[in-house]
Amino acid sequence: IPNAGVKATGGGFTVGRLGTGKAAGDEDYLKVTPDSTRVYVSESSSNGFAVGKLGTSGTTDFLNLTQDNYFIGHNVAPNILDGLRNSVLGYNAGNSLVGGDDNIFIGNMAGFSTGSGSIGGNENIFIGNSAGYNSTSPVRNVFIGHEAGMENVTGQYNLYVGNAAGKNGKGFYNTVLGPSAASDNNFGNSNVVIGYVAGRQMVSSSNVFIGQGAGWNNASEVGGNVFIGPYAGETITSQDYRLAISSSSVRYGDPLIYGEFDNKRVAINTSNANGYTFYVNGTSSGTSDWATPSDMRLKTNILTIPSALGKVLQLRGVSYNWKDSEAFDNKKHIGFLAQEVEKVVPEVVINNNDSYSMQYAPITALLVEAMKEQQDQINRLTEENQS
């Protein structure tokens, strides 16, 4: 090639098409000048620029740039037929891509499959070694990380970020961030999972797991759980519609806050509300008074408590210590025994799953009426003595 030639305006390496100004029959396909190297190709989608090797049974392209697709790497997207606007980079990336459009596969075997890979996948972004590997017909997924979204057979509209994040998933509308997070999420949809191995065995939908190991072994079939904190909800393995908030580093411990969305219950320092709307495992206090509805307009069948004094006389006040000082405390307390009170005033005793508790506040009404009965007796005796 002579040193003289038409001087390029930009210099360097250029791939482009032949301009309309070239004279017929005077076309250059490769031009090398002192400051540039140019390759001219037609605008036909079947043409382009390729770099590959020759073989006795065919050729293998390492670089294949056309107007429709950009493929860079060994054996990249060799089966493409009518796919458009795909950018694939990496060894065997997009190996079975046939008709997908607007995909970006970057990484060793990203979007790869043998025989059933991303044949009809559209608008996916797979970045990382084996990201999206064996995805059959994914749509609008973003998988970033080694094996992220691997075996995501038919998933759509998912975001998986982290090594093995969302691996083996087949769901829709999931947001998963963290290594091995939701890595066995076979069928779940509309989940938000953030943290290392969070939601790892999750198979249900509409869950929110945030924190390392949060809900990692929850295999409930319906879902609707919210677990926040390191290994939050670890003891809740099969229930649905549960809340667990914990920051304890102790594995398998009770959460600070536990809830049952389906039953509208909340518990503190335990994973069992014991059938109550609000349950506290331990002592509680506050700076304001507890108030309960007492409007007479809300009540019916109103009667004065009969034989109040006789009932009070049957009650036994006791002092006691809790057997389980770790669950409660080791202080001496005074009160009643629920089983004894149930025989006299059953209205204030609750038996939930053979666990007894009682309401102390209503006893006040009983004491008031008992005191009035006693005062009547005192008044009668006083009148008799005066007469």
Q: Are 215 and 209 in contact (CB under 8 A)?
A: yes
Could you give the C-alpha distances from 44 to 14, 18, 48, 75, 211, in angstroms and in order? 18, 11, 8, 22, 52
Q: What digits encode the pLDDT tens for the residues 183-194?
A: 986 778 999 999
Residue 62's pLDDT is 73
Convert the pLDDT of each residue in 199-216 to its tens digit: 998 889 999 999 999 999
Residue 17 binned pLDDT confidence (cut-offs 50, 70, 90): very low
Residue 160 — φ and ψ, nearest 5°?
Answer: -120, 120
> What are the tens digits of pLDDT across the range 84-100?
999 999 999 988 888 88
Residue 137: the pLDDT is 81
pLDDT tops 80 at residue 50: no
Q: Can you give the pLDDT at residue 78?
A: 86
In terms of Cα–Cα distance, which of 85, 83, 105, 102 is closest to 94?
Answer: 105
The pLDDT of residue 28 is 55
Does residue 34 register a pLDDT over 80? no
* Angstrom distance (rounded) from CA 88 to CA 103: 8
d(CA 238, CA 242): 10
Backbone phi and psi for residue 363, each to the nearest 5 degrees, phi listed first:
-60, -25
Q: How would you class 29 by CB atoms within 10 Å of its CB: exposed for 0-12, middle for 13-18, buried for 19 or more?
A: exposed
Residues 6+ apart with CB under 8 A from 221: 203, 204, 238, 240
Could you tell me the maximum CA-CA distance found in the chain, to the nearest angstrom?
145
Contacts 24+ apart (CB under 8 A), 61-64: none
pLDDT, tens digit, for every residue of 147-184? 999 988 788 999 999 999 999 888 899 999 999 999 98
* Amino acid type, 204: S
Contact 229, 255 (CB under 8 A): yes
User: Quick check: 100 and 117 in contact, CB under 8 A?
Assistant: no
pLDDT reported for residue 31? 65
pLDDT (0 to 100) of residue 12:
45
Structure tokens at 118: 């991303």
Q: Measure the CA–CA gap between 110 and 119, rounded to whole angstroms.
A: 13
Q: Please report the pLDDT score of residue 46 as a whole number.
A: 54
Q: What is the mean pLDDT of residues 267-293?
A: 86
Range in 122-126, 207-211, 271-275 the model is least confident about? 271-275
* pLDDT confidence bin for 347, thresholds 50/70/90: very high
Is the pLDDT reported for residue 5 higher than 70?
A: no
**114 pLDDT higher than 50:** no
pLDDT at 198 over 90: yes
Question: Which structure tokens are listed for 129?
Answer: 């070694």
pLDDT of residue 1: 44
